[in-house]
Amino acid sequence: MSWLGALFILTACTWIGFEIAKKLTERPRQLRQLKVALQSFEAEIMYGMSPLAEASEKISKQLPAPVSYLFKYFGDYLKNGERNAQKAWTKSLEETWPYTAMGAQEKEVMMQFGSTLGKHEKMQQQKHIRLAMVHLEKEESEAKEKQNRYEKMSKTLGFLAGLLLIILFL
């Protein structure tokens, strides 16, 4: 029976290590998706002449979850009567951010971007979108670096922590 408990401990700790590694892998991928979304957003605003709600709706259909939820909720808030684009953006960020693998730095970049939505003419808006994309590019390179450095280590540490607990309990 004690072997079954040891196997359970080892499995649980290894699983935790793999979940941490998964989050490290997801972060750069989601940042790339967010950059693509901002590029599409820029194209919709500049060339498609779409209103913010309509542009957000189109973009949300092109992206995988959870990044798509950000634009879907933003469009929904605007369609459901929210007059202030910044408030709608903030609400959608707060609602969807816990489901992403991204961190506080990326959230701050997106909050700053949201503070400019609907307040400027097209050319200024395009500059703000590009600025956000530059910041996200920097965050993506840092996330890739962190992934390369810590992904394998977190998997190994999960397994080794399980072994250590088994040894301590014997």
CA distances from 149 to 27, 105, 156 (A): 14, 19, 13
- Average pLDDT on 111-140 reads 84
Amino acid 79: pLDDT: 86
Could you report the per-residue pLDDT of 30-87, keeping only the tens digit for each? 999 999 988 888 888 878 777 788 888 888 888 888 888 988 998 888 888 777 888 8
d(CA 18, CA 121): 46
* Alpha-carbon gap, residue 76 to 128, rounded angstroms: 22
Average pLDDT, the chain: 87
The pLDDT confidence band at residue 1, using thresholds 50, 70 and 90, is low
Output Rg (C-alpha) for the chain, integer angstroms: 20
Instruction: Read off the pTM.
Output: 0.81
- For residue range 140-169, list pLDDT tens digits in order: 899 899 888 888 999 999 999 999 988 888
Q: Which residues contact 55 (CB under 8 A, 6 or more apart)?
A: 41, 44, 45, 48, 75
Quote the pLDDT of residue 88. Answer: 87
Among the residue ranges 1-10, 20-29, 143-152, 153-162, the one predicted with the least confidence is 1-10
> Can you read off the two tokens belonging to residue 71?
């634009």
d(CA 159, CA 11): 8
Per residue in 117-129, pLDDT (tens digit) is 777 777 788 888 8
| pLDDT > 70? residue 16 | yes
Residue 42 burial (CB count, 10 A) = 20
pLDDT at 43: 85
Q: How crowded is residue 47: how many other Cβ atoms within 10 Å of its Cβ?
A: 9
| Residue corresponding to tokens 């779409």 | 50
